[in-house]
Chains A and B, each alone.
Chain A
Amino acid sequence: MSQDPATTDRAIVAAVNKPYYQIVREMLADNIASGNLPAGTLLLASVVADRLQVSRPPVKRALELLIGDGIISEGPERGYVVGQAGSFKKIIRTNLHGLALDLPAELAENRGQPSWERIYDETETEVLNCIPFGTFQISESMMGEHFVVSRTVVREVLLRLDARHLITKDRSSHWLAGPFSARMLDEAHAVRRLMEPCALEDCAPRLQPGLLEEMRGRLGTARRTDAAPSPNQLDGLETDLHVTLLQPLRNRRLAEIVRLSQISLVINRLFARHIGVHDETDLLNEHRLVLDHLELKDVAGATAALRRHLDLDHQRARARLKVLSIVDAPSVPPYLSRVH
């Protein structure tokens, strides 16, 4: 059983809601760059998926994207090979299971779970990434095909999404996801402004040495540049404050509540990617205030600053949701079909 604190971490980390294919894509690119996966290594989607304990579709998508990035190429017979065609002498067939890979936290703890759990996070992320753009119907059968799981597993996932108020059944018993309403943001915020400062208070005395300094460094870099931060930079800063800082949290129940209340992170991330990052001075200043208080070991100050940041950011997320609601969803998984 995976009842260790790692489960909690996984739950919190998933709140950043980066799509799985993106996580896999970055992880493979990193391991290729670091030499863990040398040029010529054969990558089969099924084997990579098995090694990472994720389903196949995101791995396939990640591999396709990496071809576009010019980092891997199509294999001579099947699969993909690290490096551009001609840049390696022969195909290396490595047992990926025997290979030490640097896995991001999202994937590192992805083992020993029942099958519904393995696809739950991915489904939740994909649903959350679509519903700010409208209303979608979920096809159980397509979902089963997509994840290569049985109807029972699909239903288990859907019922859990339903329990978390992320999807509903309409009058004709179809599963509907969305739209992401202003009320969802309001309700999540009302919980979050109470719970996240509690979580921070709990974690503050147990932060890893040097962590704050690193975070302040990243924030300082962003504040010193005249240009607005890149979407990735922004993701990093938000993850620092709202995910990484809370990793020492031992109360799993609190961790789950905090994670579920962080849905505005999705809105901010989608807005940054599809509409653009504009002036983020306010956000950067709010972040700094929290970190400064932590640095001075003023926990009460830090929690007050965090609450203030959450309140202000809530207003920004509300305005951004309005913009997203008129835009088309950039990418929709095959088991979701737009109804409105």
Chain B
Amino acid sequence: MRLPLATLLRLAWRNLWRNYRRTLIMLLAIAVGVWAMIAMSAFLRGMTDQMVRSGLNTLPGEVQIHQSNYRADPSVVNSMPPPDGDLLDALNQPPITAWTSRVRVPAMVSSEYDSRGVILLGVDPEGETAIGALPDTIVEGRFLSDADDRGVVLGQRLVERLDTAMGKRVVLMSQDPDNNVADRGARVVGIYRARLRSTEDTLVYAARNPTQSMLKLGSAVSEVAVIGGDYRHSESLVPPLAAAVTNMQLVQSWQQLDPYLGSMLKVQDGFTLIFMVVIFLALSFGLVNTLVMAVFERMREIGLMQALGMRPGLILLQVLIESVLLLSLGLIVGNVAAWLTIKPLESGIDISAVADGMEMMAMGTTLYPALDGRDMLTSTAIVVGLGILASLLPAWRAARLDPIRALAKT
């Protein structure tokens, strides 16, 4: 026997609108629930993205190559030659989209008033631009012009702490490979703002060539930083690079470089799922109630359909189709509402009023909600999947009705 799907659909659709007030209220509840699921996950994803990106900005680079002892002792002693041969070939292959090499050593920066311990980045501005690792905003002056620029770019907070200013000279000081003091004077050519004020305190940008000269490194670098298409999948960049480096070099993704940061994504995905399920559980009571009432009100009709020869399985299917139609309508309204309300906010919401608190969570003064198609799909799957499960009880009860008793209902 063919499944009379068109008949069941038509019946289910018309039955939904028999009590249109109840259907509209339930529809609204589902739509608001779906909207809440998507909005909540967009905000949560936006926060996590910012935390991860802030973390990546302090690395910076999604995958890094170091001399194998560099992580334990990030000094000039553990530098490595610049990429060449197989490694250079591997770096220029997709899915790698850009890379750069830099010097990165602990250093001191001194003004005429104060000194601070910092991380000195000797960078090639062109390479940093390519991997998107430039400071967030240059608030005064400019960034370094090229790999030979002799200026220095400081964070705004560091400038305040050193009591220095644009155009003034500071002294950069570290150690060369022979453990001798290596230093040079540099003029402040730019001041940057970072999403995290702590970054402004820590990272000092100088051009790579003068830094290598100061540290007597020749052409050696501390690290090679690499990016691909999506930071969430940067682990896939590791194997081809690992095959191309020497025994003395180590290729690590940002998840390995900063396991805490890596675990945040998993935690976020877990929380998103839990929130979605909790929202749905609240919703499911309304859904079950609606269907139970619909079955109760139509007991006589259900008995009639059984009397006319509709198998119990078809009765069950009809109630489930009704539920799926209700859920689908709610999903459409909820998804569209979420898209319309959250998409315009993706350019950022000013949360400077709570900036200090947010900085503790490695976030800046602007929250960028991230509307993700996967979250919309997940919420859809949860609503449909759990919705059908929740509807099984009233549907089963309908299918098990005794036709004689059901027909006797007034």
Whether A associates with B in a native complex is no
Chain B residues close to A by CB (< 8 Å): none
